[in-house]
Chain A
Amino acid sequence: MNTTFFIRDPKRAKKVMEDVEQRYARLLASVTDYVYTVTVEQGQPVMISHGAGCEAVTGYASDEFEADPFLWESIIHPEDLATLRAHTDGVLDGQKPPPVELRLTHKKGQMRWVKHTTVAHRNELGQVIAYDGLVSDITERRLIEEQHRLGEQRLQAIMDHSPAIIHLKDLQGRYLLVNRRFEQLFGVKRGEVIGLAPHDLFGSGPADALRNHDRQVLAGGRPMEFDETLPHHGELHTYISVKFPLLDAAGAPYAVCGISTDITERKRAEEKLNRAYHELSASESALKTTLQELKAANEQLRAAQSRLIQAAKLESVGTLAAGVAHEVKNPLQIILIGLDYLDCNLKPGDADAPSVLADMREAVTRADKIIYGLLEFAAPGEFKLKEEDLNALIEQSMLLISGQAVTCQVEVIRDLDPSLPLVRIDRSKMQQVFLNLFINAMQAMPRGGVITARTRAGRCDEGLLLDRAAFPQFAAGEPLVKVEVQDTGTGIAEDHLGKLFDPFFTTKPVGVGSGLGLSVVKKIVDLHGGAIDIRNAPQRGAIVTLVLRTRKDKTT
């Protein structure tokens, strides 16, 4: 305090001095702090007076201090004694040492923290003549500080043992606090990081994102969760970060705390799992495809098997037929020339006998036709294959049935592809095929109708579309010719469709068909390397489809 008084009246001055001293004494008496005064002569302490507060601070009364000049130093904690002495020496030396904090033992035995402050008094020459010591009890404050320190330690310990990265940043985005995990992962020391920003550590890319997140948290004033990416040891790690603002007593944010958990491994595992899942579903669909292919292959095998069985059946029927035919021919011969003999030796007047004989002769002719058909089927004979114009052959076959067609009121429509290539066939055998098909069609239309003969050429599955279930034997891209014979007749009963090519299968009245026509047709088509299919047309009637291979590179 540097207040200077200028008082001229000595009386009045004395009064003022007295007032000041009284006020000072009252002040001293009212403070709980311990105040002592040391009188100094020749740089050495010569007398100490102890203020009233000494009892409150140390437990010892002032007379106890006066009785024992060593009492003061004896209650000072031995470790703090040097500090105290250095301080005192400084004061005696005329310096102004800063206050020191010391431990002392209270008379009741507790340890107390005190703050020791000294103020020197000097004479006109500037020599120290006395100094006052102020000893304040700061135990409470030290305890609080200690607790605070423990709390900080506890917090740091918890933070340091967390597997997550924990960091605290001020409003400018500078690190206030980081944990050990942070140090380990980013290879930095705590002391180096404090005061730095993420930009100094991670480069602008990742740091921009972090700053952006911090700002969102500060703006929102509430905890938020982010995916964050940070590089460490040369690779990017993914973190899930919980960030929240720290608020001061007034509720204003002063820092952002982040707790970041490394989920890189988890993410990788997830990705792996995802990949595995996708691979699994891919292989599952591949399995499904394979299964379908297997099923399809199985179906084809079945179809092939049934075709083989059918072929074997036809073969055995053929072999049997040839043997039977020869055996039947001789009896027919006997009957026929027997009839000739009877014809010439009829008793006159027998009116019915000639017609009986005629019926018998007719029966022999019919039986002979069947046998001829059987033999044709069993051994169609040699093929004379030549490049032929199928359209012309169809025209010619139509001409042969045209008379019958007029009689049956059947109209014949030609829908022939003019660009049809030549096809290598046995002309007479193939004519037999077409005649058979036309006659069948006419017989399916007893009340008249329309026969349409259609030809088309093209590559299988490209220019020429086939029902691949019915014609599995042709390869895609193979050059083919397709002939369709369609009628508007009664169609075919579903349960007959599978038997159409069986020898002796017939739906015609007795004597009209031998049941061999279509089986011979099929045999001829098979021998040409072709295929034939019969099904009901969408609206009505039946449609016969015949497919033959054409030679490659030979289109006319």
Chain B
Amino acid sequence: MNNRDGRSSPRAGGSGAKADKKRILVVDDEPSITRLLKLNLEQSGDYLVRTENGPVAALVAVEEFQPDLILLDVAMPGMDGGELARRIRETTPRVPIVFLTALATKEEVSKAEGVIGGLPFLAKPVNMQEVLSCLDKHLTA
């Protein structure tokens, strides 16, 4: 189920007033997670968030939404996060990707990381403070 709200623009460089808002694409097969992340992030006033709950819709959203950063669930039905990240990189090589993972131990995460090479991650459950500082770090980089 796609969850596009009125504030997401189809193309980059939308209205001037909100031009400095960073565009975040959140992809997770759990709609509750995507919805709450969107609510929390947009509440801060700094982000424009589009959410997707499936890998194919996510690929479309990358084309349409032109995100500044992608928060990507590692384990999704149909295509895992690693594969999805590789496909995204084919069309959009420069966008930062941060994984969200329920694979808890660091060793396991580093294995998942190995698939696409050196991508940062947030281990679930993660609070908003951690999410925000992570976004800060990778958006300014």
Contacts and interface: CB of A to CB of B under 8 A. Distances in A.
Interface stretch (A117-125, A291-299, A376-384, A465-473): A376-384
Interface string B113-130: 000000000001111110
Contact of A341 (B40, B75, B100, B102): B40
Interface residues of A, number: 25
A333 B108 contact: no
A382 B127 contact: no
Nearest to B102: A329
B15 interface: no
B36 interface: yes
Interface string A331-350: 01111111111001100000
B76 to A, nearest CB: 11
A347 B107 CA distance: 42
Contacts of A375: 104-105
Given A330-B124, A332-B124, A368-B125, A337 B40 contact: yes
A387 B4 CA distance: 57
B105 A337 contact: no
B102 A337 contact: no
A210 interface: no
Nearest to A328: B102
B33 interface: yes
Contacts of B131: 337
Contacts of A330: 30, 33, 102, 124
Contacts of A368: 125
Contacts of B102: 325-326, 329-330, 333
Contacts, number: 70
Contacts of A332: 124-125
Contacts of A326: 75, 102-104
Contact of A337 (B75, B103, B127): B127
Contacts of A379: 105, 107-108
B39 to A, nearest CB: 5
Contacts of A339: 127
B30 A372 contact: no
Contact of B43 (A325, A334, A338, A344): A344
A335 B124 CA distance: 11
Contacts of B126: 333, 336-337
Given A326-B103, A375-B105, A379-B108, A333 B40 contact: no
A246 interface: no
A364 interface: yes
Interface string B23-39: 00000001011001101
Nearest to A344: B43
Nearest to B131: A337
Given A326-B75, A330-B30, A337 B104 contact: no
Interface string B87-104: 000000000000010111
A320 to B, nearest CB: 15
B106 to A, nearest CB: 8
A340 B103 contact: no
A423 to B, nearest CB: 23
Interface string A303-345: 0000000000000000000000110011011111111110011
Nearest to B104: A375
B124 A333 contact: yes
B107 A337 contact: no
A454 B102 CA distance: 41
A371 interface: yes
Interface in A67-109: none
Contacts of B40: 337, 340-341, 344
A338 B36 CA distance: 6
A371 B131 CA distance: 21
Nearest to A327: B102
A322 B65 CA distance: 36
**Most-contacted residue by chain A among B43, B108, B124 (CB, 10 A):** B124
9 contacts: A329-B102, A333-B30, A334-B33, A337-B128, A340-B36, A340-B40, A345-B43, A372-B105, A379-B107
Given A333-B33, A334-B33, A340-B36, 13 more contacts: A329-B104, A332-B124, A333-B100, A333-B124, A337-B33, A337-B37, A340-B127, A340-B129, A341-B128, A364-B125, A372-B104, A375-B104, A375-B105
Q: Which 6 residue pairs of A and B lie closest in terms of their CB atoms, listed nearest first?
A: A329-B102, A340-B128, A332-B125, A381-B107, A333-B125, A333-B124
